[in-house]
Structure 1
């Protein structure tokens, strides 16, 4: 497949691109960095500014893309421009190009506001508001074949290949396991039009995804 990864230089984006390349996909990664991120013949790079106008974003997206990942994040800066408005503009641009498959990395409980007073989430309220409405737009206002993957806290540690999905705990995730889950979702048609949360657990990623 030919895949666009929006946010290829991020913590999850880096692992995601590596796994997609290992599976022999053609990957176009977006980053504002000048240096090429991956030395691979199947990788190309795009300086895509998601704070630009929607039409300017669409002009840079190739027509024959098979799937788009949104794994970009503001890191707490310009949350409205990046995590909300930027995300929605990429959805609109992808629709304009006739691309259907769109996989969003979101955050645990983004659509469940009743959980937002819990420790760790209350301090990220602006970010959660942005992710909430971006995810709402994707579900309710787009025609995309979306999957929203809601990850708990991201941790720099070795992946286990095992996750738990859709329970009531925010939990933690090895970054490699989030990337592996995003990769597995690509070929799992049962995840289309689905939203699910995950954290490290006891079930293999493919087995967990098969239950959706």
Structure 2
């Protein structure tokens, strides 16, 4: 497949691109960095500014892309421009291009405001508000074949290959396991039009996804 990864230079994006390339996909990664991120014949790079106008974003996206991942993040800076407005503009641009598959990396409980008083979430209120409305737009205002993966806290630790899905605990994730889950979603047709939370657990990733 030809896959666009928006946010290829991020922590999750880097691992995701590596896995997609290992699966022999052609990957176009977006980054504002000048140097090429990956030395692979199946990788190309795009300087895509998601804070630009929607039409400018759309003009840089090829029509023959099979799937789009949104794994970009503001890191707490410009959350409105990146995590909300930027995300929605990419959804509109992709849909206008006739591309259907759109996989969003979100945050745990983004659509369940009743759980925002949990430790660690209250301190990220503005980020959560942005992710909430971006996810709402994707579900309710687009006709995209979406999957929203709501990950708990991201940690720099070894992959386990095992997760828990849709648990009441926010939990933590190995970054590599989040990337593996995102990659696995691509070919899991049962994840289409689904939103699910995840954290490291006791079930293999493929088996967990099969239960959705």
SS at match of 1:4: strand
Matches within 5 A, 1:1-212: 1-212=1-212
Aligned-residue offset at 1:70: 0.0
Partners of 1:52 and 1:209 lie apart in 2 by 35
Given the two structures, how large is their TM-score scaled by the length of structure 1? Answer: 1.00
Task: List gaps (5 residues or longer) in structure 1.
Answer: none
Partners of 1:118 and 1:30 lie apart in 2 by 33
Partners of 2:180 and 2:118 lie apart in 1 by 27
Please list the CA deviations of residues 90-119 of structure 1 after superposition, one character each: whole Å capped at 9, or x if unmatched: 000000100000000000000000000111
Partners of 1:88 and 1:75 lie apart in 2 by 17
Runs of 4+ displaced beyond 3 Å: none
SS at match of 1:55: helix
Aligned-residue offset at 1:80: 0.1
Partners of 1:119 and 1:149 lie apart in 2 by 21
SS at match of 1:34: coil
Partners of 2:2 and 2:110 lie apart in 1 by 29
* Count of residues paired in the alignment: 212
Root-mean-square deviation over aligned CA pairs: 0.2
Please list the CA deviations of residues 159-197 of structure 1 after superposition, one character each: whole Å capped at 9, or x if unmatched: 000000001000000000000000000000100000000
SS at match of 2:150: strand
Please list the CA deviations of residues 65-91 of structure 1 after superposition, one character each: whole Å capped at 9, or x if unmatched: 000000000000000000000000000
Partners of 2:126 and 2:174 lie apart in 1 by 24
Partners of 2:78 and 2:190 lie apart in 1 by 34
Aligned-residue offset at 1:202: 0.3
SS at match of 2:80: helix
Given the two structures, how large is their TM-score scaled by the length of structure 2? Answer: 1.00
SS at match of 2:159: coil
Aligned-residue offset at 1:56: 0.3
Aligned-residue offset at 1:21: 0.1
